[in-house]
């Protein structure tokens, strides 16, 4: 059970950061994951009054505040037009609309959960994280760092032209995914982000140039096999390592073909 | 701590703990339609509106609704009675425990998208679990309610 002694609506990021340096204190995201943990929190720090709940589109970037909800991500027309709906596809099966109306980007990325659809898609979009203290860090690096007491302020993605697609496999809609996969091609280089292995998402780049000669069913399948071969998979109640490895190749192939709109 | 918010159109001032859940505060204020099911963000039984958006009240700190507008099924009686009759007509439910959460979320959907396709209905309501029915009756109830509303607008009924 989660207990909280004191609730503070932070008046500035600095105040929130200072409060968060105490181990017994905690930043509140949408509270969904945190509520499933057993913990006695001294001060729960709410960032909702700091204007971090918007997606700002600039000439070159989308800046996504940490309090933006998964539903906002799903419904943002410009973000989804730019990424061929990969972000909406990634979040649309996370529990339900009511859940996505409060689950946050900050909680999803800070948590670096193995099953995360959110981490998977933003890795493929080459996102960067902006932390209050540590500043800007590539998400690929942040995903590998242990959780610390910094505040994740926003995610930044460059609006570079990109072919991208998202695929995931679930036993049933709204269940945790068995495997998540996002592929993208930036400046001619293909990469695949694969999560829920059940380990957290990791990026594999097409170092061998398997897709350099063009994308068709065969080259996409070869890239799928290559990606599966580069990653380690584990077993849990949702699937075995061998099963995950098999479907990894298939999902990567499908994602590459979908990104190129090859039917 | 003191908490002030608007509940079903009325101003409320009450005292809550820092970790009181919105679900418990609403029930203590007499909103018995708000049900506790899983209490882990899975079932949708505890759905209420905060500033007109459906949320899971089992996972919202009461303190967070300070100054905001909260609506429960008690505050949507007319809309709910209208729609509920169509669910009942289809014999869509058995124990009925999931009904308030389903009604709230379906009403949120009607407001956001008055003409949802079958896929859109299934997607919007996928966070509302029902242990008894197979969802088919609920889907039929929703579709016949929407058809009735359309006919009503056209003056056909
Ligand atoms: C029942 C259930 C099913 C789920 N299914 C899926 C799924 O299928 N796919 C998927 O991708 N995800 C799934 N999730 C995870 C969910 O999408 C969120 O990622 C998760 O709930 C965390 O987001 P939150 O806003 O609830 O964060 P919280 O639970 O509030 O916070 C999580 C952690 O992040 C910290 N934190 C929050 N914001 C910040 C910040 N700005 N800076 C620093 N630290 C911060 C908190 O202190 C806490 O330690 C599921 C979660 C639940 C409870
Ligand atoms: S009781 Fe809130 S989602 Fe189940
Ligand atoms: S009718 Fe019993 S849970 Fe839905």
pLDDT tens digits along A145-160: 999 999 999 999 999 9
pLDDT digits (tens, 9 = 90+) for B92-125: 888 999 999 999 999 999 999 999 999 999 999 9
Q: Establish whether residue B81 lines the binding site of ligand 3, counting it when its CB lies within 6 angstroms of any ligand atom.
A: no
Distance (Å) from the C-alpha of residue B30 to the closest C-alpha of chain A?
22
Average pLDDT over every residue of A178-193:
96
Is the pLDDT confidence value at A178 over 70?
Answer: yes
Of B16, B45, B74, which residue sits at a domain end? Answer: B74
Domain borders along chain A are 2-46, 55-158, 163-262
Partners of B6 in the β-ladder: B11, B69
Domain count, chain B: 2
CB-based contacts of B152, cutoff 8 Å, min separation 6: none
Query: What would the two tokens of residue A223 be?
Result: 């890239």
B86 and B48: one domain? no
Cβ contact, residue pair B126, A32, below 8 Å? no
Q: What is the mean pLDDT of residues A181-203?
A: 96
B39 and B91 assigned to the same domain = no
Cα R_g (chain A), whole angstroms: 19
Q: Which two tokens stand for residue B64?
A: 């967070």
Report the pLDDT value the prediction gives residue B134, as an integer from 0 to 100.
86
Nearest residue, CB atoms, A95 vs list B19, B66, B127 = B127
DSSP A34: G
Show Cβ contacts of residue B62 under 8 Å, excluding neighbours closer than 6 positions.
B3, B16, B20, B21, B22, B24, B25
B61 and B89 in one domain?
no
Is the domain of B56 the same as that of B13? yes
Number of residues that this document lists for chain B: 157
- Chain B residues in contact with A9 by the CB 8 A cut-off are 66
Same domain, B56 and B94: no
Contact A99 B56 (CB under 8 A): yes
Q: Predicted ipTM? A: 0.97
B98 close to ligand 3 (CB < 6 Angstrom): yes
What's the rounded Cα separation, in Å, for the pair B4 and A87?
36
Could you tell me what percentage of chain B is helix, strand and coil, using 3-state DSSP and rounding each to the nearest 5? 45, 15, 40
User: Is the same domain home to B81 and B144?
Assistant: yes
* pLDDT category of residue A124 using cuts at 50, 70 and 90: very high
d(CA A163, CA B156): 49
Task: Find the residue in B nearest to A96 (Cα).
Answer: B127
Cβ A63 vs Cβ A154: under 8 Å: yes
pLDDT tens, position by position, A7-58: 999 999 999 999 999 999 999 999 999 999 999 999 999 999 999 999 999 9
Mean pLDDT of chain A: 97
- Ligand 3 contact, B148 CB (< 6 A): no
Claim to verify: residue B53 and residue B110 sit in the same structural domain:
no
Same domain, B98 and B146: yes
Q: B125, B112 in Cβ contact below 8 A?
A: no
Task: Please state at what angle helix A217-230 crosses helix A241-259, rounded to 10 degrees.
Answer: 140
Q: Report the separation in Å between the CA atom of A64 and the middle of ligand 2, taken as the mean of its atom positions.
A: 28
Task: Find tokens 């009325």 and name the residue.
Answer: B10
Same domain, yes or no, for B46 and B94?
Answer: no
- The Cα–Cα gap between A104 and A5 comes to 23
d(CA A126, CA A143): 12
CATH code for the domain of B42: 3.10.20.30
Q: What is the pLDDT of residue B24?
A: 98
Give the B-side interface with A, CB within 8 Å. 1, 18-19, 40-42, 44, 47, 53-56, 59-61, 63-64, 66, 105, 108-109, 123-128
Q: What CATH class is the domain A55-158?
A: alpha beta
As a whole number of angstroms, the distance between CA A62 and CA A46 comes to 24
Q: What is the CATH number of the domain that holds B89?
A: 1.10.150.120
Domain end point (choices B49, B74, B99) = B74
Residue A144 makes CB contacts below 8 A (sequence gap 6+) with: none
Considering the domain architecture, whether residues B14 and B25 belong to the same structural domain is answered as yes
Chain A residue with Cα closest to B66: A9
Joined together, the tokens standing for residue B153 give 């607008």
The share of chain A scoring above pLDDT 70, in percent, equals 99
Distance between CA B55 and CA A31 in Å, rounded? 12
DSSP string covering B68-102: -EEE-GGGGHHHHHHHHHHHHHTT--SS-TTHHHH
Whether B44 contacts B128, CB under 8 Å: yes
Whether residues B92 and B120 fall in one domain: yes
Give dist(CA A36, CA A23) in Å, integer.
19
CA B56 to chain centre: 9
B-chain residue closest to A95, CA distance: B127
Find the domain containing B105 and state its range.
76-153
Confidence at A262, pLDDT banded by 50, 70, 90: low
Q: Could you report the per-residue pLDDT of A53-101, keeping only the tens digit for each? A: 999 999 999 999 999 999 999 999 999 999 999 999 999 999 999 999 9
Q: Quick count: other Cβ atoms within 10 Å of Cβ A221?
A: 18
Cβ contact A255:A183 at 8 Å: yes
Residue where the block lists tokens 């109306």: A101
Would you say domain A163-262 falls under CATH 3.30.390.50? Answer: yes
Q: Give the residue from B20, B41, B74 where a domain finishes.
A: B74
Residues B11 and B68 in one domain: yes
- The stretch A157-173 carries a mean pLDDT of 96
Closest to B1 (Cβ–Cβ): which among A7, A35, A36?
A7
Q: Indicate the residue of B19, B44, B61 with minimum beta-carbon distance to A98.
A: B44
Whether B127 sits inside 8 A of A99 (CB atoms) is yes
Task: Give the total residue count for chain A.
Answer: 263
Contact present, A41 and A76 (Cβ < 8 Å): no
Q: CA dist B44 to A183, B100, B134, Å?
A: 32, 9, 16
| Torsion, CA A212, CA A213, CA A218, CA A221, rounded to 10 | 0
Regions in chain B scoring below 50 on pLDDT: none
């Amino acid at each position: 059970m989660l207990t909280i002694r004191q609730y503070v609506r932070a008046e500035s990021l600095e105040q929130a950061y200072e409060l968060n340096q105490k181990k017994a204190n905690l930043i509140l995201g949408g509270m969904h994951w945190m509520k499933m943990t057993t913990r006695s929190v001294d001060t729960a720090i709410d960032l909702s009054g700091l204007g971090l709940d918007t997606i700002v589109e600039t000439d070159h970037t989308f800046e996504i505040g940490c309090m933006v909800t998964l539903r906002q991500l799903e419904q943002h027309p410009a973000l989804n037009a730019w990424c061929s709906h990969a972000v909406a596809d990634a979040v649309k099966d996370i529990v339900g609309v009511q859940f996505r109306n409060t689950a946050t980007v900050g909680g999803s990325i800070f948590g670096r959960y193995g099953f995360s659809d959110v981490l998977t898609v933003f890795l493929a979009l080459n996102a960067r994280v902006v932390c209050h203290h540590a500043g800007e860090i590539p998400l690929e690096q942040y995903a590998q760092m242990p959780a610390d007491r910094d505040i994740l302020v926003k995610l930044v993605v460059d609006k570079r032209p990109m072919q991208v697609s998202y695929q995931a496999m679930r036993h049933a809609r709204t269940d945790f995914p068995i495997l998540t996969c996002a592929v993208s091609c930036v400046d001619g280089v293909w990469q695949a982000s694969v999560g829920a292995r059940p380990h957290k998402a990791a990026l594999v780049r097409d170092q061998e140039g398997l897709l350099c000669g063009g994308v068709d069913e065969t080259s996409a399948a070869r890239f799928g096999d290559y990606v599966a071969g580069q990653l380690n998979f584990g077993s849990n109640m949702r699937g075995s390592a061998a099963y995950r490895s098999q479907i990894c190749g298939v999902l990567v192939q499908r994602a590459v073909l979908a990104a190129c709109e090859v039917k | 701590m003191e908490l002030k918010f608007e509940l079903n159109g009325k101003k409320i001032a009450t005292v809550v703990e820092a970790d009181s859940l919105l679900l418990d505060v609403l029930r203590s204020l007499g909103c018995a339609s708000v049900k506790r099911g899983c209490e882990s963000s899975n079932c949708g039984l505890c759905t209420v509106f905060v500033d007109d958006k459906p949320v899971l009240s089992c996972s919202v700190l009461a303190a967070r609704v300070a100054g905001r507008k909260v609506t429960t099924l008690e505050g949507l009686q007319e809309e709910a009675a209208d729609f509920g009759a169509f669910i009942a007509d289809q014999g869509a439910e058995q124990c009925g425990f999931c009904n308030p959460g389903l009604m709230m979320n379906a009403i949120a959907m009607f407001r956001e998208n008055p003409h949802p396709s079958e896929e859109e209905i299934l997607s919007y309501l996928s966070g509302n679990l029902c242990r008894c029915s197979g969802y088919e009756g609920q889907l039929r109830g929703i579709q016949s309610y929407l058809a009735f509303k359309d006919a009503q607008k056209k003056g056909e009924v």
